[in-house]
């Protein structure tokens, strides 16, 4: 098992370099592989297709969702593909294991009215509140991932021209426009952030954009809590997170007639097929939501 752990650690280092996956994703891979080898209880060279299928069957019997089981299978496939390419094994036993058929869920998104209520919920003139407002405006205004938001630094913000530099999956950089509302929220936050920095004399060489009262970079978990906190404050019953605002950003652009390839570029999707899930949203439903919710359809404006 010690040799297997070495291979697992080398595999994780490999995909971190190749794909730039987040620490959270790498931990999930490691846990999946440990769980698989605890099930197998045999040496790496003796793993065959039947062992992998047995593990998948056990996961289904345990009541795990198809999405979870598919993720575990994907991890196992990636691992054995790495071992095969490195010449550590001569046969890849995971190559012929069939994938589970999963019904693709449509992304959950907010109406325009609910979105405005959410991003405008933080309204006090305090450091944490102005920070939270900037976070919400940026999540909706740019459609960035929570991991991308966590990694933003001060030098990534270009307020004059109204854009931010985002480092996405695989450490790929892209330019995303901020929009006027997000730009204004960022200006207010950066001003109050500078006051806090002088007052508390932050000495760190790091320049994270979003920080706590001690000057430390916010984690993805902290940002998720911020989004959920304000969602509850305005009475949204569903569990709302940063990814909901990302879906909302894309859905509202689609409703306004934005080209799918433009949305793909803004979201940082490597493949158009990933973005195409938004076209599966029922057009009639979108029109109804638009007529009810979009501010431009209100007669009194």
Active site residues: 145, 169, 243, 246, 269, 278
In terms of Cα–Cα distance, which of 79, 117, 112, 109 is closest to 95?
79
The distance from CA 210 to its chain's CA centroid, rounded to whole angstroms, is 17
Kindly tell me the burial class for residue 97, based on how many C-beta atoms sit within 10 Å of its own C-beta (0-12, 13-18, 19 or more): middle
In terms of Cα–Cα distance, which of 241, 203, 205, 245 is closest to 225?
241
d(CA 138, CA 188): 13
C-alpha gyration radius of the chain? 22
């Amino acid at each position: 098992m010690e040799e297997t752990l070495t291979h697992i650690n080398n595999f994780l280092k490999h995909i971190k370099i190749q794909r730039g996956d987040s620490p959270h994703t790498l931990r999930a891979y490691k846990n999946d592989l440990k769980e698989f080898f605890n099930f197998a209880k045999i040496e790496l060279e003796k793993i065959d297709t039947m062992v992998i299928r047995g593990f998948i069957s056990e996961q289904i019997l345990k009541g795990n969702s198809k999405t979870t089981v598919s993720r575990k299978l994907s991890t196992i496939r990636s691992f054995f593909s790495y071992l095969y390419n490195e010449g550590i094994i001569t046969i890849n036993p995971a190559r012929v294991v069939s994938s589970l058929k999963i019904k693709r869920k449509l992304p959950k998104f907010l109406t325009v009215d609910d979105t405005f209520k959410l991003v405008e919920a933080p309204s006090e003139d305090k450091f944490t509140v102005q920070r939270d407002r900037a976070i919400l405006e940026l999540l909706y205004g740019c459609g960035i991932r929570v991991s991308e938001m966590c990694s933003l630094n001060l030098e990534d913000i270009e307020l004059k021209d109204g854009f931010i530099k985002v480092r996405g999956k695989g450490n790929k950089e892209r330019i995303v426009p901020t929009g006027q509302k997000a730009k204004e929220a960022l200006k207010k936050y950066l001003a109050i952030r500078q006051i806090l920095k002088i007052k508390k004399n932050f000495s760190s060489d790091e320049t994270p954009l979003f920080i706590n009262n001690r000057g430390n970079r916010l984690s993805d978990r902290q940002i998720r809590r911020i989004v959920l906190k304000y969602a509850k404050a305005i009475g949204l019953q569903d569990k709302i997170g940063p990814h909901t605002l990302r879906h909302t950003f894309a859905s509202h652009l689609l409703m306004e007639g934005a080209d799918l390839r433009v949305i793909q570029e803004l979201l940082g999707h490597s493949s158009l097929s990933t973005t195409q899930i938004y076209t599966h949203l029922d057009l009639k439903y979108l029109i109804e939501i638009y007529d009810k919710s979009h501010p431009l359809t209100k007669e009194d404006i």
